[in-house]
Amino acid sequence: MHFLAISNDTLFIYYLLSNLIYLALLIVAIFKNTVHRHRLGSLRLELIKASPFTPPITLIVPAHNEERSIVGSVGALLGLEYPSLEVIVVNDGSSDGTMEKLRLAYQLQTARILYIPDIATAPLHAIYRSAVEPRLFVLDKEAAGCKADAINAGINAATSPYVCVVDADSILEKESLIRIMAGVFSDPDRVVAVGGIVRVLNGSRVVNNQIEEVRLPKKAIEVMQVIEYLRAFLVGREGWAGFNMLPIISGAFGVFQRDLVKQVGGFRTHAVGEDLDLVIRMHRRLHEEHRPYHINFIPDPTCWTEVPTDLKSLARQRARWHKGLIDTLWPNRDMLFRKRYGRVGWAVLPYMWIFEFFAPIIELVGYSTIIIAMMTGNLSRSFFLQFLLFGYAFATLISIGSVLLEEMTFRRYSDWREVARLLIYCLFEHFPYRQLTMVWRLQGIWQYLRGDLQWREMKRVGISANPVG
Amino acid sequence: MGFIFSGIEKLGPAGLVLQAILGSLLGICLLIGFIVLRRWYRARYFRRRNERTVALRARWDDIVSGKVSAEEWRFDPLDCDIVESILLDAVEMATPEQLPRLLDCLRNSGLLDMRICEARTFSGWKRRTALLALGRTRAMESIPALADALDSPSRETRIASVRGLGRIARMEAAIPILDRVVSGNFDVPERTLKNTLVNCCRNYPSILVNYVEQTQGPLRELLARVLGELASPDLGEELLILAADALPEVRASAARALGNTNTLFTLPALHTLATDPEWFVRLRAVVALGQIENIGKIRILLRTLCDSNRHVRQRAAWALARMEPQLEQILEDVVATQDEYALQSFISELERSGAIEKLVGASEIGSANDSAQAALMEVVTAVKKRVQDSEKAAVAAAGR
């Protein structure tokens, strides 16, 4: 009986702390966002475009069996507004017509350029350069079964001081590169990596690989993910970056100092969450070298990505994310509470262990003890009700806070009805979606413990299938 | 209400949780209310602004010429904001003939004085906004107010001031910045500084030479880099001094600047820089050689094609592959170097520039020597195979 009481109290404190931390992040994010918007007001993007001092950047696009979308995606990337751009597509042993489509569309020719594999990768078959678009290179390599290996090959071939990793099936907004690099220009000596925001593409109108009209998706499961993405990026990442503790830059859109990525050995091959893993290793390296640095997040450069539309795909994705989390936290456990790793070792990593990794386990234990306590008649009904209400109200407050941030800053959902829908879904997000997420994350832990690190395909509707006209 | 609070207090610890619940619910209501109110207010504001913009646009010529008294719009904050933003946009796009009329309107209406006053008396974001607006006016009398802000203890304000001066785009705006750069205690991001100096010194790059001479270390490199971007033929001999500088960054900038000149001493100076111990100085020299029109550069480029650095080799190959009338002779000379890396770089560039086909034609006539022909035949075979492959692929695609 005593155990049940302690368990219930622990659960209450855990929820309270978790939500209080997010509330603190929300407040920091609101402040940081306001400052950023003021700065943007004084920044003229066209001057950056015209400046001879704007550093070149290499876009790395890993592609595996992307024949349906690769030509359009590459075309859109080449159309991005940036003065000095190089695009490297890495064909990671595609078994479909990805390479052939690229060869025909861009008249690829074998390029005799020196390729120095600073980071070891699977062997390259050939390097091609487009005869019609000199900024485009294509690396044709053997499949290594992981995205990280393809990205590493791209990093080896990149000639720019900054590299930007982009998913082949995502859409970058025209000015996104200039905007994300503005985060570097603010302090080029210290800023070693910058992340941009990833938003949900489902439901929006896409024409020629560019967003024409932003709309909320129709299905509830997709709208829930919109809220999750808003909260994770506009509150979580913005807040952590405010303390220079950003633990992750999304693999779908992020800029890194090329040399630093090489120094840390590139993306870890076969890492499940290669983006999280890289950023944590960057923190480690820079702390060990006592280098002043900043890993930044900029909320306005936007990458649009398709999210799962069915429960099965979403379950796989969430299980994989959780596997990626363990796969990064465990090898870096020596950073915990070590003085040399500063606030990363003392704050963000403990947070990730307690409030990210252990979250589904603690939730499961919590629900179980509540049920046992109810069955044995040891649960105070009023406590249970209060706990439920408080947890629900506080978490909803945070979700609505992220919608407010979106409203105060970028207002991508301009229609009244869309915002109303977002707000309504905020009220329903915590039941049963949250409980389902808990189950999927538990599956991730189980799969990791079994050694099942296999990548499972996500069912995609495809950009072209989104509502048009 | 009192009985509610006393009731909650009686609950003890449970009351605390209840208060937290009520607090959270209140927070939710407030947030939703704020979102709704903000949306409503913004919709109303933009509708009103739109209406006023149309009304002011209808009388625009009279406003600019002063036929409509400034008093009619200056003291209404919304009207004043609209007129100022239209005016500043117009100033940015104005030709030298149109500019005086717009500046007169800014002066006569008191808008310029208002912004100067704000830049001197306000602080924080208000001051920065005023500084940027002053820069956009491109008016000479803005410079002192902007220059004052360069000494602000706030880094953000200094950056806004530098950006403002950059938008004025006059040599006079660069002088206060350069004076502070020379003093060595001026902390603004390097890129912002360089962009501003490029904007301001575009027509008078010679002003930078004196300042380069007065500075040392990284500041000297910074100014030399800007000079390298702007140098014009009339700088001439002053660039030779920089080409012999002890700092490699300065020599690299001199090399870049020499690419914009084509005088008697350009080629010898670039020749020296192309043999510099630092690879990036050699690279800059090769890039500059690629820009100048002088047949004498071939000899230097052939030497740099055998450089130990691949970037230097590639740029030399790039420059050589674009000298079409001499390509045959160049190919023979490249083969004669017996440097495999040089030959590979050159042939690769020939392929990329499309000049390979012409050379293939020439080799069939038999004008090239044996080794050149052997190298070419290898390339021809590769090209033929590639063409056949793409034809096959095209046929297959058409069949599908």
- Tens of pLDDT, residue by residue over A362-401, are 989 888 888 888 888 877 777 777 777 888 888 899 999 9
Q: Which residue type occupies B209?
A: V
Position B8 confidence tier, pLDDT thresholds 50, 70, 90: low
CA distances from A18 to A14, A39, A321, A460, B50 (A): 6, 31, 19, 33, 45
Sign of torsion, CA A302 A306 A308 A314? negative
* Both tokens assigned to B344: 């590979």
* A144 vs A324 pLDDT, higher one: A324
CATH topology of domain A19-55+161-345: Spore Coat Polysaccharide Biosynthesis Protein SpsA; Chain A (3.90.550)
A429: chain B residues, CB-CB within 8 Å: none
Q: Which residue has the tokens 């600047």?
A: B257
List the one residue out of A254, A30, A229 whose CA is nearest residue A155.
A254
What is the percent of chain B with per-residue pLDDT over 90, rounded to a whole number? 51
pLDDT at B364: 56
Please give the sequence-ordered ranges of beta strands (E in DSSP) within chain B, or none if there are none.
Answer: none
> With an 8 Å Cβ cutoff, are B24 and A129 in contact?
no
A389: chain B residues, CB-CB within 8 Å: 21
Query: Could you read off the pLDDT of B151-193 as tens digits, one per residue?
Result: 999 999 999 999 999 999 999 999 999 999 998 888 898 889 9
**A138 and A102 in contact (C-beta within 8 Å)?**
yes
Position B372 confidence tier, pLDDT thresholds 50, 70, 90: low
Judged by DSSP in three states, A287 sits in helix
Predicted confidence (pLDDT) at residue B376 exceeds the cutoff of 70: no
Q: Span B69-89, mean pLDDT?
A: 94
> With an 8 Å Cβ cutoff, are B28 and A404 in contact?
no
Q: Is A381 on the interface with B (CB under 8 A)?
A: no
Mutation to test the B interface, candidates A47, A49, A125, A160, most B Cβ within 10 Å: A47
CA distance B168 to chain A (A): 13
pLDDT at B387: 46
Q: Which residue has the tokens 């053997």?
A: A142
Q: Span A218-238, mean pLDDT?
A: 94
**B128 and B160 in contact (C-beta within 8 Å)?**
yes
**A107 and B351 in contact (C-beta within 8 Å)?**
no
Predicted confidence (pLDDT) at residue A291 exceeds the cutoff of 90: yes
Mutation to test the B interface, candidates A17, A132, A399, A407, most B Cβ within 10 Å: A407
Predicted confidence (pLDDT) at residue A279 exceeds the cutoff of 60: yes
> With an 8 Å Cβ cutoff, are A185 and B14 in contact?
no
B391: chain A residues, CB-CB within 8 Å: none
Q: Span B128-137, mean pLDDT?
A: 95
| Domain layout of chain A by residue ranges | 19-55+161-345
Q: Is A414 on the interface with B (CB under 8 A)?
A: no
Going by C-beta distance under 8 Å and a sequence separation of 6 or more, which residues neighbour residue B132?
A41, A42, B160, B163, B164, B167
CA dihedral A38→A40→A43→A47, nearest 10 degrees, is -170
- CA distance linking residue A200 with residue A203, whole number of Å: 8
* Both tokens assigned to B368: 């090239």
Q: Span A425-435, mean pLDDT?
A: 87
* Both tokens assigned to A151: 């990205």
pLDDT at B382: 59
**B204 and B198 in contact (C-beta within 8 Å)?**
no
pLDDT at B371: 60
Q: Which residue type occupies B262?
A: N
pLDDT at A466: 47
Q: Span A301-307, mean pLDDT?
A: 94
β-bridge mates for residue A63, sequence order: A91
Position B40 confidence tier, pLDDT thresholds 50, 70, 90: very high
> With an 8 Å Cβ cutoff, are B194 and A114 in contact?
no
Predicted confidence (pLDDT) at residue A469 exceeds the cutoff of 50: no
Predicted confidence (pLDDT) at residue A467 exceeds the cutoff of 70: no
Q: Span A301-323, mean pLDDT?
A: 94
Predicted confidence (pLDDT) at residue A192 exceeds the cutoff of 90: yes
Query: Could you read off the pLDDT of B194-235 as tens digits, one per residue?
Result: 999 999 999 888 889 889 888 888 898 899 889 888 877 777
Predicted confidence (pLDDT) at residue A464 exceeds the cutoff of 60: no
Q: Span A340-359, mean pLDDT?
A: 96
Q: Which of A349-353, B255-259, B316-320 has the lowest mean pLDDT?
A: B255-259
Predicted confidence (pLDDT) at residue A277 exceeds the cutoff of 60: yes
Name residues 203-242 of chain B within 8 A of A (Cβ): 225, 229
> With an 8 Å Cβ cutoff, are A109 and B386 in contact?
yes
CA distance A363 to chain B (A): 20
Q: Which residue in A42, A110, A404 is closest to B132 by CB distance? A: A42
Predicted confidence (pLDDT) at residue A243 exceeds the cutoff of 90: yes
CA distances from A244 to A134, A293, B154 (A): 38, 8, 21
> With an 8 Å Cβ cutoff, are A390 and B20 in contact?
yes
pLDDT at A430: 82
* A462 vs B119 pLDDT, higher one: B119
Q: Which of A301-315, B13-27, B270-284, B292-306 has the lowest mean pLDDT?
A: B13-27
Q: Is-cis flag, bond preceding A432, omega within 30?
A: yes
Q: Which residue type occupies A338?
A: R
- CA distance linking residue A407 with residue A419, whole number of Å: 9
Going by C-beta distance under 8 Å and a sequence separation of 6 or more, which residues neighbour residue B289?
B259, B270, B274, B297, B300, B301, B304, B316, B319
Predicted confidence (pLDDT) at residue B397 exceeds the cutoff of 60: no
Q: Span A111-122, mean pLDDT?
A: 85
Predicted confidence (pLDDT) at residue B377 exceeds the cutoff of 90: no
pLDDT at B9: 60
The chain-wide mean pLDDT, for chain A, equals: 90
Predicted confidence (pLDDT) at residue B400 exceeds the cutoff of 50: no
Going by C-beta distance under 8 Å and a sequence separation of 6 or more, which residues neighbour residue A302?
A172, A173, A176, A196, A197, A198, A199, A412
* Both tokens assigned to B122: 């306000």
B349: chain A residues, CB-CB within 8 Å: none
pLDDT at B313: 92
pLDDT at A48: 85
Predicted confidence (pLDDT) at residue B391 exceeds the cutoff of 90: no
Query: Could you read off the pLDDT of B103-128 as tens digits, one per residue?
Result: 999 999 999 999 999 999 999 999 99
Helix and strand counts by DSSP (H, E) for chain B: 24, 0
What is the percent of chain A with per-residue pLDDT over 70, rounded to a whole number? 96
Name residues 173-232 of chain A within 8 A of B (Cβ): 185-188
B28: chain A residues, CB-CB within 8 Å: 393, 396-397, 400
> With an 8 Å Cβ cutoff, are B344 and A112 in contact?
yes
pLDDT at B395: 44
